Amino acid sequence: MAIENPVGVLSRVLGKPQVVQPWSFGDDASKATCLWTRGGLEPLTKTNPVGAALHQRQAALGQSD
């Protein structure tokens, strides 16, 4: 089972999530998304990162999408 939700309140209820970015999986976008998994689901592994350095730089400057 997996629950997906933007960064926010659910962390207080469900505990620490895995936080993923679309650009870590080949999509040229940035919007942090939290995943809580149960029942033996493995955490996602980054594949085909797109512009990771650019997104990190933009986030540091407060310019992410």
Per-residue pLDDT, averaged over 26-36, amounts to 85
Tokens of 36: 């809580």
Check residue 59 and give its pLDDT.
74
Tokens of 23: 């650009």
The answer for residues whose C-beta is within 8 angstroms of residue 29's C-beta and 6 or more apart is 22, 23, 65
Is pTM, for the whole model, over 0.85? no
Tokens of 2: 């997996």
Residue 22 three-state SS: helix
Check residue 18 and give its pLDDT.
93
Convert the pLDDT of each residue in 3-16 to its tens digit: 988 888 888 889 99
The CA dihedral of 22, 26, 28, 30, to the nearest 10 degrees, is 20
Check residue 36 and give its pLDDT.
93
Check residue 55 and give its pLDDT.
65
